[in-house]
């Protein structure tokens, strides 16, 4: 089936923006670590980066279901691009500070490390340009992208729209269990990885330029997971796959806590990234097959509020634990708790997901 010219434009815009994101994914924690080695202050970057999801997810989802989605994407990308360019200028002008970085990552919800080592401002200019370029491509998409309602039907209140999305989510298993499982997963995972840059620099004794190579292992795992996701789901079942991902991720985190060799840590990061992408393939496919198009923004925002809203709190707790008990501690604790959660809560998803898939196969 031909996906059309608009899909190709959207895909290109997303690819350009994601390339810039990948560069900054490495550079931002390195920038924080260059300003301070305090685990709590470094973790605060991850806290503020994800805090908007906890604060604005429900409202933004309801608004997206009302507004022209093409215009929203284009405008937001331009704003994000300009903010990243400001960060690059701040580094060049030597007026960069933690408060400025905090403000920028709050507003914004292996190439990067090499660029940071050579020219710290470069990754932020690249990401800024990538967002602006992506915005221009999205703006060129033809058609109308504002959700429509039946003629004569008055616009509903924003609060009513938000409640509708929340109610729909909680009345349709396995979505509530999936959202709660993702929330716990992200809390524990980000408790450890919010200070991963300090683990790499101080425990693995890597240079800044090598930090991106370490993350490259995760990128390779993510790519493999994107290809293997449907096969894994078909092979062992979607519910069992999610439980297995939780177990493997927890075991990998515990193993990393004991290690000081980057060559051994790298494949463990690849395993975790592989599992994370397979999780996304399975859960996003289920959500898209279940949620009505006119509720997509609201229900997905409610889902992400639960699933992603825990990230800033996990990062904050991880920073405090690392400062109090050492940089390895969040990996020990988070990994052990994730294993327990996978064997208890995650297992509840198996029959729920199976019933949905069986109903879809019959229907």
Residue 204: what pLDDT?
97
Residue 274 and residue 244 in contact, taking contact as beta carbons nearer than 8 Å: no
Six-digit token string for 240: 């069992």
The full set of domains in the chain, from first to last, is 5-142+160-362 (1.20.1250.20)
Q: Which residue has the tokens 């599992």?
A: 275
- Convert the pLDDT of each residue in 159-172 to its tens digit: 888 899 899 999 99
pLDDT at residue number 219: 79
More confident residue, 117 or 348: 348
Say whether 224 sits in a helix, a strand or coil: helix
Find the mean pLDDT for residues 104-130: 45
The whole-number pLDDT of residue 77 equals 64
Is pLDDT above 80 for 304?
Answer: yes
Mean pLDDT is lowest, of 2-11, 169-178, 204-213, for 2-11
Q: What is the pTM of this model?
A: 0.78
Q: What is the CA radius of gyration of the chain?
A: 21
* Full DSSP string of 228-296: HHHHHHHHH-HHHHHHHHHHHHHHHHHHHHH---HHHHHHHHHHHHHHHHHHHHHHHHHHHHHS-GGGH
Q: Residue 104: is its pLDDT beyond 70?
A: yes
Band of the pLDDT at 122, cuts 50, 70, 90?
very low
On the question of pLDDT at 328 being above 90, the answer is yes
* pLDDT the model gives residue 67: 65
Mean pLDDT of the chain: 80
Task: Give the pLDDT confidence score for residue 14 in this predicted structure.
Answer: 43
Residue with tokens 């327990």: 340
pLDDT computed for residue 70 by the predictor: 62
């Amino acid at each position: 089936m031909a996906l059309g010219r608009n899909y190709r434009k959207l895909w290109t815009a997303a690819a350009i923006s994601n390339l810039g994101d990948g560069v900054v994914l490495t550079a931002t924690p390195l920038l924080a670590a260059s300003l301070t080695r305090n685990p709590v202050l470094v973790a605060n970057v991850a806290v503020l980066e994800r805090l908007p999801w906890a604060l604005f997810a429900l409202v933004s989802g309801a608004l997206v279901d009302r507004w022209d989605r093409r215009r929203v994407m284009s405008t937001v990308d331009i704003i994000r691009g300009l903010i990243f360019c400001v960060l690059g200028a701040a580094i060049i002008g030597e007026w960069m500070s933690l408060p400025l970085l905090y403000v920028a990552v709050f507003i914004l919800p292996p190439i990067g490390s090499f660029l940071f080592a050579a020219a710290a401002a470069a990754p932020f200019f690249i990401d800024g340009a990538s967002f602006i370029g992506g915005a221009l491509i999205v703006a060129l998409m033809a058609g109308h992208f504002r959700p429509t309602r039946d003629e004569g039907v008055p616009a509903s209140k924003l609060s009513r729209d938000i409640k509708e999305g929340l109610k729909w989510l909680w009345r349709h298993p396995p979505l509530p269990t999936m959202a709660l499982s993702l929330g716990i997963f992200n809390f524990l995972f980000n408790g450890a990885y919010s200070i991963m840059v300090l683990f790499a620099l101080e425990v693995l004794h890597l240079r800044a330029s090598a930090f991106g190579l370490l993350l490259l292992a995760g990128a390779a795992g993510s790519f493999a997971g994107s290809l293997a996701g449907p096969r894994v789901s078909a092979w062992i079942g979607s519910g069992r796959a999610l439980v297995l991902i939780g177990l493997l991720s927890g075991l990998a985190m515990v193993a990393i806590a004991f290690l000081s060799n980057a060559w051994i840590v790298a494949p463990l990061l690849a395993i975790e990234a592989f599992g994370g992408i397979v999780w996304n393939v399975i859960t996003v496919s289920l959500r898209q097959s279940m949620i009505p198009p006119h509720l997509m923004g609201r229900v997905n925002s409610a889902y992400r509020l639960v699933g992603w809203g825990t990230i800033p709190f996990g990062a904050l707790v991880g920073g405090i634990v690392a400062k109090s008990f050492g940089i390895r501690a969040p990996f020990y604790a988070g990994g052990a708790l994730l294993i327990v959660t996978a064997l208890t809560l995650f297992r509840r998803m198996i029959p729920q997901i199976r019933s949905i898939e069986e109903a879809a196969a019959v229907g």
